[in-house]
Structures are given as structure tokens and as C-alpha cells.
Amino acid sequence: MIHHLRAAGVSLVVDARGPGEPAILHWGRELGDLDAAELDALAQALAPAVPPSSIDTPFRLSLAAGLGTGWSGRPALQLARPGVSAVAQAARSPRFALVDVMRTDDAEAARLVVALRDDDAGIGLDIELELIRQGVLRSRVHVGNGGDDALLVAAAGILLPIPARASELLDFTGLWARERRPLRRPFLHGVHTRESRHGRGGHDNAFLLAAGTPGFAFESGELWAVHAAWSGDTAVWAERSTLGVATLAAGELLAPGEVALAPGERHTGAWTVAVYSDAGLNGVSDRVHPWVRSWASAPPRPRPLTLNTWEAVYFDHSLDALVPLVEAAAETGMERFVLDDGWFHGRRDDRRALGDWIVDESVWPEGLGPIIERVHAAGMQFGLWVEPEMISVDSDLARAHPDWVLGRADAPEWRFQRVLDLSAPGAADHVFDRLDALLRAYDIAYLKWDHNRDLLVAGSHAQTRAFYALLDRLRAAHPGVEIESCASGGARLDLGVLERVARVWPSDTNDPLERQRIHAYTSLLLPPEYLGAHVGAARAHTTGRHADAGFRLGTALFGSAGVEWNIAAATADDRAVVRAWADVYRQWRGLLHSGRVVRIDTADAAIAAHGVVAASGDRALYSIATVGTPADALPPALRLPGLDAERRYAVRPVSLGPAPVTIADAPPAWYHAGVAEQRGRTLETVGLAVPLMAPEQLLLLEAVAL
Ligand code: DGJ
């Protein structure tokens, strides 16, 4: 039968009538209530002609399309049996017969599980499709070896067809401290592919691959996007075929021979998360944020203000050095104090000791108890940095277990460290035991879980599975402990790991100029409450760039905020400004961590503007930042989208200490008066004049319904 799944303005129509593979007839805008006859008519209407020099039957792209079905584009399912026997040939070019379709609809999602079988190849395939209540489409496959010899799995996903009008592509690249830089290109014939072989997402991770109508932007355009919810190697691609078919796919990138199924074994592919939007990129987060927020693993609220010691003291650990920082953290309103790298046995610099997860007695002669007591006495929670998947060659662990080092003995080091092979017998248990012992010995509310190098081995499937298993085991044993995913900054923040953590570290840069972009794009998928955002020193450690307090504070305000700066050594005035900002954060975080994120397409790229609107529509907070030199003498009127069209709002600046530096002789009249009153529709459509700010300044505006 033809199944029509509908949710939140999205329709997915799947032709699963058999006898062959199922095909998506439509994934996109909601089609309304179609009866069976109308769905049949839709299938009829879409049956293509037969072009010259092609297979003799109309080609219809199926979910598992490959050479066996006439698809000579890149298959999302790639299987092999050794040799050239008929069975081996069939396995490389399967053509599945429909066995069964199971549909379940509940409050969470409409689900289809399509069971398929290729008897010639001895392969069973189950395809899961879920159209989640919020309009997100999730899919994955299970491949079963029903043959007599090994079945190699080289790729295990499905192809999602998208319409020809999606003619422009967007994905992301990046570097350490410069993650998620957007890349645009036309979507032409051929395959555009992005592969990650980092064994973690990587700083240059494609993150989200979107195909959309020309010029699609934050607020406008129709687009289809995919993301691989997997924390190891991944491949995402878009292909436009000369057959007039365009596809998107995202999944795990497997190394040759890495997954070999013995007869009777099954392999489950990673989830592909796919999102359709007819409201630009903001429409992607409009679907994904509410879904992520509905997860059982969603972080508890309110999100605490965090003081992290890394850029404050680096490896300079001691009770004497840190007590003033604890006191300054408490004075400025921090709620969690996180002791970063440098606390464990022998870890006096970044060249050694990973794996030796016991407290360094030379630095902490009485253990972590005294610092934790100070932190608790100051009314804060205590958090600790760990990097459990790593091992230093210069460590007791490596000396005891050289066999636990992943990869070739002569493989290059990276940050002077190697990877711990979590699939080696005993290795994951050992790490679990060490972390478990720490969490039992001390009252630790939070672990910052780091991962500071690429694996540099072909095939990270077993390691990634073992990482998930270790995280899951630890979470089950210590359900109250929050975990942050960090990987040299933002090199591992996919939706696979996100299900297991309460926070991510989007980047090692605390430079607000970089963070403005990083937050805008990382938040396409990750709600702001997950994005660790710290106020750093005035001169950013990663870029050397100087930023005023207002720009640093206003940028960090829109995430899971904190401070990473030696505020004990800052001036009393600086601490007072941080204290006032902490109060603003406390006042707004309920809204910021539950509301709708709206990114604003400004006419001048030098102005980055975004806001968060309360679900009730009662209030919103907007940030307007100059991230370059404005093009015009006066900035264009700034639209404030997302408010209730008919309600009237009072718009007022929110102070973060020193006012933003402006370079006009006189401010706009309303700004001078302190308030503008307009209807939501007017604010969205026309907007209001804003002051001409100097580069790298930030203005915060609240809109409150009257
Ligand atoms: C990389 C992280 O991203 C930093 O925040 C910090 O924790 C260092 N590692 C510590 O080694």
C-alpha cells in the first residue's frame, strides 16, 4: 500500500506496494488528507517516461536503489561477498523484494518498518522510517546476512529523493577554533560528497547538508537537509543525476572490510536525520529543537552558570591558586565550578598521563576533597574534566597495557597522545572503573568529556560503538551526573552523541566574533541550552583579538553560559559587570532555553542579528552585533521577526554594563527615548532604526508584549 505519514506541516508518501523496493513519492510540504485512491493517482502521475538509451522500464528511485534496480548513481547501501560467484554478484547489486510493511502511529511519530529480502544475494534488509511529531524524518537500516559466507557492509543507509528546484547546496567546513563555516555551491550534475575520517566529527565536519531553492537563507526558501547522527566517520552527499533525479544521503562511513557479517549476523546503520523546511534554515531548528527538547536525556533546567578553569589557569593547579578563583566565581554568581585538564596523576602539561585517572598527589596532596568543599561551601556544583578515550605513551596505563593503544605502533602522535582502543578486552571496563571510582569518591555534578585527536585508523565503527556503550554505562550508574561532549572544541557534537550528553563545547575559541557565527550555525540543530558559551578574557586566547565586555557577555548570554577567564585577577569593576550579566542570564535563561530561535537575514552582512522568542509570544530577546564594518552611514531598519503578529510590544535596550559604542552623532529617536512600541507584524515586516555601532559591538533588545 501507499503510506502517507504527516506531521507538523510535512508529508512523507512511501509507495510500499511491492513487489519490489519501496520508494518515496513525496517528502516535503504537507499534502493534506489524501485517500487511498488519491495516493494511487499520485503514484500514477509520478511514473516517469522511458528516456532514450536507458533501462526499458520507467526508472523510479527506490530507497535502496543500486545497480540491481537500474540506479547507476552512488548507492547508499553497499554490500559485498568475496568473489565473482552469482551470489557475490547479486550481493553487490541487490534488488530486494518486499516481504512486509509494519506501520505504527503514536504520539511520538508515525513509523514504517519495511522488510525486504534478496534471495539471490542471501540478504535481508529492514528499513525504518520515522516521521517524528515535530516534522523530523529519521531513517536507518538493518542489514542481515542470510547467506552462507561473509557479507561485507560498505555502506548502510537509504537515498532520499528531493525535487529539482533544490538547486543550491549548503554545508559546513571549519578548523580548530573556527568551526562551522558555511559553504555554498550550485547543485549540479554529479556527486557532492563530504566525508569525515577523523573518528570523530572533526572541525571541518559537514554537520548539515542542505539543498534548497536558490538563495535560501535563515528566514526564506524551501530546503531539504540531512545530518548523520553518528560520532565516528561519516559520509553525507548530494547527487544530481542526468536521469533528472536528485538525492540526499547521510550515514556512517565504513572502511573496506570493517563490518563483515557472519551468516546470521545483522548490522544496524546510523540514524540519518532529515529535515524539510519551507521557512528557510530557521525552519530546520523550528523542527529539530522541539524534538531534541522532548528527549528523555534533555538537560535539566535551569542551566547553571559555569566557571571553567582552562583559560583561567591552564595547568597551574593547586588549592592556593584556585581558591581565589572559586571565591571570584561565587562573587560573580557562578553556579558550577569546573576543574579542567591538569588534575590527574602526572599531568603537569599536555604531553603525558592520559589514562591515569587518579588524583595527582603532588598537586592535590589531600585529593580533590578540599577544593570540592570550597566549591560547595561557596554554593556551587563541582565539575571535572576527563578524556577517557585517550592514552599517553608516557602514562602508567600505557606502560601496563601497551596492547590497549589503538592503531599502528609507529602511528603519528597528535597533541602528544594516542587513542585508547576501547574495544580491546578490558580497556573499556578499566576506564569505567576509574571514572566510576571518582564519581563515587567525590560529589561531582558534571564531567567535561574531551577527545583531543583524530583516530587516524581506517574504520572507527567499533570504537564509536564502544564510546557510546561506555557513556551509556556511566550514565546508567550515575544518572545525576551531567556530561559535556567536547573534542578540541566542537569536533564532536552530532545528534548521536547529543542524546547522551547535557552540553557540548562548540569551539575552543571564546572570541565572540568567531562565536557569533559558530552559534548561529551550530544552533541549526542544537538548541542553545546545549551550547557551552563562555566569557573569556578581553584579549581572546585563541585569536589574540580584543573584544569589549558587552560583546563578550552578550554573545555568551545566548548559550549555556559561563566564564573562562581569571576573574580573580580581574578588576572589581569587571567582576561587577560579570555579576550584573549573571543576573540578566538568570532572568532570561528560562526563555532562552525554551523559546524559538530566530536568526535574522540582515541586509548588511556586517550585522549579525538573532533572537529567541518565548513559546507564549509574550517576550523575546534579540541580539544585534556588528561583526564587520557596516556598509552604510546608517544601518538599515532592523526587523524583529517571530513575535505575535497582532500583539503590541514595547522594545527596549537591555543593559550589559557599558553601552555599545556608537559612531553616529545622535541615536535614533526611539532609542534615545528608551522604548519603541509596535505590533509584532510591523516589527517583523518594517522593523526599527538601530544605532550605528562601531565594529564588534553588541546591542541587546527585549520585546515585551503590552
Ligand atoms: C581541549 C578543550 O576543548 C579545552 O576546552 C580544554 O579542555 C583542553 N582540551 C584541555 O586539555
Q: For residue 485, give the CATH number of its domain.
A: 3.20.20.70
Q: Is the CB of 494 under 6 A from ligand 1?
A: no
Residue 664: predicted pLDDT: 79
Instruction: Calculate how far, in angstroms, residue 491's C-alpha sits from the geometric centre of ligand 1.
Output: 12
Asked if residue 33 is part of any domain, the answer here is no
Q: Give the mutation target among 176, 340, 351, 511 for probing the ligand 1 site: most ligand atoms within 8 A of CB.
A: 340
Residue 14: predicted pLDDT: 98
**How far, in Å, CA of 592 to CA of 289, rounded?**
12
Close Cβ partners of 406 (under 8 Å, ≥ 6 residues apart)? 418, 419, 420, 421, 424, 455, 457, 463
Q: 140 with 246, same domain?
A: yes
Which residue, 660, 694, 656, 654, is CA-closest to 675? 654
Q: Is the CB of 309 under 6 A from ligand 1?
A: no
- Residues facing 136 on adjacent strands: 275
DSSP H stretches of helix in 488-539: 495-498, 512-522
Asked if residue 36 is part of any domain, the answer here is no
Q: Whose CA is nearest to atom 9 of ligand 1?
A: 488
> Final residue of a domain: which of 293, 324, 354?
293
Cell (9 digits) for 113:
518498518
> Final residue of a domain: which of 594, 622, 649?
594
The amino acid that residue 197 corresponds to is R
Which residue, 429, 503, 443, is CA-closest to 473? 429
Domain range holding 681? 598-705
**75, HSE (Cβ side, Cα atoms, 13 Å):** 23
Strands 418-419 and 446-449, by their bridges, are unpaired
Q: Whose CA is nearest to atom 1 of ligand 1?
A: 488
Instruction: Calculate how far, in angstroms, residue 273's C-alpha sits from the geometric centre of ligand 1.
Output: 29
Atom of ligand 1 nearest to the CA of 486: 3
What's the structural domain count of the chain?
Answer: 3
Residue labelled with grid coordinates 540478504: 123
Catalytic residue among 126, 233, 286, 450: 450
- Do 529 and 303 contact (CB within 8 A), yes or no? yes
Asked if residue 6 is part of any domain, the answer here is no
- Do 344 and 391 contact (CB within 8 A), yes or no? no
Instruction: Calculate how far, in angstroms, residue 450's C-alpha sits from the geometric centre of ligand 1.
Output: 7
Q: 383 with 487, same domain?
A: yes
Per the annotation, the verdict on 429 as an active-site residue is no
Q: Is the CB of 509 under 6 A from ligand 1?
A: no
Residue labelled with grid coordinates 509596535: 678
- Burial class of residue 121, CB neighbours in 10 A (0-12, 13-18, 19+): buried
Asked if residue 570 is part of any domain, the answer here is yes
Asked if residue 513 is part of any domain, the answer here is yes
Q: Which helix (H) or strand (E) holds 582?
A: helix 572-592
**How far, in Å, CA of 211 to CA of 568, rounded?**
48
Length of the chain: 706
Q: The CATH number of the domain where 179 resides is what? A: 2.70.98.60
Would you call 412 helix, strand, or coil by DSSP? coil
∠ CA 387-390-392 to the nearest 5 degrees?
115
**How far, in Å, CA of 224 to CA of 236, rounded?**
13
**How far, in Å, CA of 431 to CA of 387, rounded?**
10
Atom of ligand 1 nearest to the CA of 350: 11
Instruction: Calculate how far, in angstroms, residue 346's C-alpha sits from the geometric centre of ligand 1.
Output: 17
Q: 321 with 289, same domain?
A: no
Q: Give the mutation target among 446, 450, 515 for probing the ligand 1 site: most ligand atoms within 8 A of CB.
A: 450
Atom of ligand 1 nearest to the CA of 487: 3
Q: 554 with 410, same domain?
A: yes
- Do 33 and 5 contact (CB within 8 A), yes or no? no
Q: Whose CA is nearest to atom 5 of ligand 1?
A: 508
The amino acid that residue 625 corresponds to is A
Catalytic residue among 171, 508, 548, 574: 508
Q: 278 with 353, same domain?
A: no
**How far, in Å, CA of 516 to CA of 626, rounded?**
10
Residue 475: predicted pLDDT: 98
Q: 455 with 334, same domain?
A: yes
**How far, in Å, CA of 505 to CA of 31, rounded?**
39
- Do 615 and 592 contact (CB within 8 A), yes or no? no
**How far, in Å, CA of 665 to CA of 40, rounded?**
67
Asked if residue 644 is part of any domain, the answer here is yes
Close Cβ partners of 345 (under 8 Å, ≥ 6 residues apart)? 353, 356, 357, 358, 359, 360, 361, 396
Q: Is the CB of 312 under 6 A from ligand 1?
A: no
Residue 489: predicted pLDDT: 98
Handedness of CA 277, 206, 251, 526 (dihedral sign): negative
Q: 230 with 341, same domain?
A: no
Q: 251 with 313, same domain?
A: no
Q: Is the CB of 152 under 6 A from ligand 1?
A: no
Q: Is the CB of 450 under 6 A from ligand 1?
A: yes
Q: 449 with 500, same domain?
A: yes
Per the annotation, the verdict on 450 as an active-site residue is yes
Mean pLDDT of the chain: 97
Instruction: Check residue 622 and report its DSSP letter.
Output: E
> Final residue of a domain: which of 542, 574, 594?
594
Q: Is the CB of 452 under 6 A from ligand 1?
A: yes
DSSP H stretches of helix in 110-251: none
Would you call 95 helix, strand, or coil by DSSP? coil
Q: 263 with 189, same domain?
A: yes
Atom of ligand 1 nearest to the CA of 508: 3
Asked if residue 649 is part of any domain, the answer here is yes
Cell (9 digits) for 386:
576527563
Q: Is the CB of 231 under 6 A from ligand 1?
A: no
- Do 340 and 448 contact (CB within 8 A), yes or no? yes
Would you call 91 helix, strand, or coil by DSSP? helix
Q: Is the CB of 239 under 6 A from ligand 1?
A: no
Q: Give the mutation target among 386, 505, 509 for probing the ligand 1 site: most ligand atoms within 8 A of CB.
A: 505
Q: Whose CA is nearest to atom 2 of ligand 1?
A: 488
- For the chain, the C-alpha Rg in angstroms (whole number) is 27
Q: Give the mutation target among 175, 389, 415, 488 for probing the ligand 1 site: most ligand atoms within 8 A of CB.
A: 488
Q: The CATH number of the domain where 682 resides is what? A: 2.60.40.1180
Low-confidence ranges of the chain (pLDDT < 70): none
Q: Is the CB of 310 under 6 A from ligand 1?
A: yes
Residue 665: predicted pLDDT: 80
Q: 606 with 589, same domain?
A: no
Q: 258 with 152, same domain?
A: yes
Asked if residue 45 is part of any domain, the answer here is no
Instruction: Check residue 19 and report its DSSP letter.
Output: S
Strands 23-29 and 136-145, by their bridges, are unpaired
Instruction: Calculate how far, in angstroms, residue 489's C-alpha sits from the geometric centre of ligand 1.
Output: 7
